[in-house]
Copies of this chain bind each other. A is one copy, B any other.
Amino acid sequence: MLHRQSVISGVGETAYSKHSGNSVLALHLECALTAIRDAGLDPKDIDGIIPYIGTGVVAEDFVTNFGIPDLRFSATTPLGGASPVAALQCAAAALATGICRHVLIPIARNGASGGRIASRMREAPQFRTVAEFELPVGAFAPAQLYAPMARRHMELYGTTSLQFAEIAVNTRRHAILNGNAMMTKPLTVEEHQASRMIADPLRLFDCSLESDGGAAVVVSRADCARDLRQPPIAILAVAEGHPDSPSAISQRADLTRLGIAKAAPRAFAMAGISHADIDVAEIYDCFTYIVLCQLEDLGFCAKGEGGPFIASGATRLEGKLPINTHGGLLSQAHMVGMNHIVELVKQLRGTAGRAQVKDARVGLVTGYGDMGDGSLAILARD
């Protein structure tokens, strides 16, 4: 069992920008060092590393640059945006079975100034599953692939672009409260509605940013974290889920159900809590619609009721389920969701600044990957 076997002991971020001026390796080392020091550890204490696949940086880069003497576990979790939270599961398994004591999970990218996301999508192995039905009609950028999912939801359940706007506006509000967000100006519903169409029904402000920067967490075995610098944030549960076969988006029997729908019941059962116990949630937000769909698949509302749930203001800072309190991928930075984990840890430590949710004790973070893969973790401060 993974329940309470490990904790997040350290978190770190670089500044987020459109042009870092640093190499991807330097950004990796910066955010990793920040997280390791935040935990009160020395880089040589790291004995497990799970880098994000596809940045060109591998575990050996940390061995070489930090002089890590005895790396005992290295892996990657190639689930696209579901990778960082899936990496928590992989780390928790390695820690619980005694393979290692402190696992570093870093990501860094020059996603704005360097290789931009859409331009590299054709090369991603995950995209072989869209090769037959989507690529031949010119659909390969994420917005193109997810637009039909959003449209299907609108057709089935009457979901509206105004409900997507509420997500964008709310997330921007939180970004402004954060001291390290790329977007710093308020966004109105009218501006969202007037923004240009990227892939119908997804408008510009339904889409996440492309960003330079890095974010990292250190996960430690619970019994190795008692004397560290920060209050340990326990992993109550973590799970991943994959969509029904076939993975090709346009061929799925149900376009509006993501892999996280399978993982969520497992995670809540492992955590031994109910939805009402979640004080704050950081929900992967590559597109506004994906947030709405996940809230349903997670069970915070029934399928088809995500639009009204969001329109009610429930996900605002003062609502019953504050989400994306850092500004998310939509308005803070696109760190593939590692920034969501960092923010949840800050919330549970009580150090989230102006966006702090009062008395946040239990929180949830999700990841969403290219092919509909999903991951979630439930964390708590004791």
Contacts and interface: CB of A to CB of B under 8 A. Distances in A.
A78 to B, nearest CB: 6
A73 B93 CA distance: 11
A200 interface: no
Given A76-B78, A78-B76, A89-B73, A64 B97 contact: no
A64 B241 contact: no
A68 interface: yes
A86 interface: yes
Given A58-B125, A58-B128, A72 B240 contact: yes
B74 A242 contact: yes
Given A64-B248, A97-B2, A247-B60, A76 B76 contact: yes
A1 interface: yes
A53 interface: yes
A250 interface: no
A282 to B, nearest CB: 22
Nearest to A60: B247
B125 A57 contact: yes
A90 B73 CA distance: 8
Contact of A1 (B66, B97, B126, B247): B97
Contacts of A86: 74-75
Interface in A1-30: 1-2, 5
A235 to B, nearest CB: 12
A59 to B, nearest CB: 7
A105 interface: no
Contact of A129 (B60, B93, B247, B248): B60
Nearest to A369: B60
Contacts of A128: 56-58, 61
Interface string A92-133: 111011110000000000000000000000000110110000
Contact of A240 (B66, B69, B73): B73
Interface string A330-373: 00000000000000000000000000000000000000000101
A239 interface: yes
A128 B55 CA distance: 12
A59 B128 CA distance: 11
A77 interface: yes
B99 A64 contact: no
A67 interface: yes
Nearest to A244: B69
A61 B130 CA distance: 11
A77 B77 contact: no
A-B interface, 7 closest residue pairs, ranked by CB to CB distance from nearest: A93-B93, A71-B242, A60-B247, A64-B246, A67-B245, A93-B97, A64-B247
9 contacts: A57-B128, A58-B78, A64-B246, A69-B244, A74-B373, A75-B75, A76-B77, A90-B90, A90-B93
Given A64-B247, A97-B97, 16 more contacts: A2-B98, A60-B242, A63-B243, A66-B245, A68-B242, A69-B245, A71-B242, A72-B239, A72-B240, A73-B90, A73-B240, A74-B240, A76-B76, A76-B78, A90-B93, A93-B94
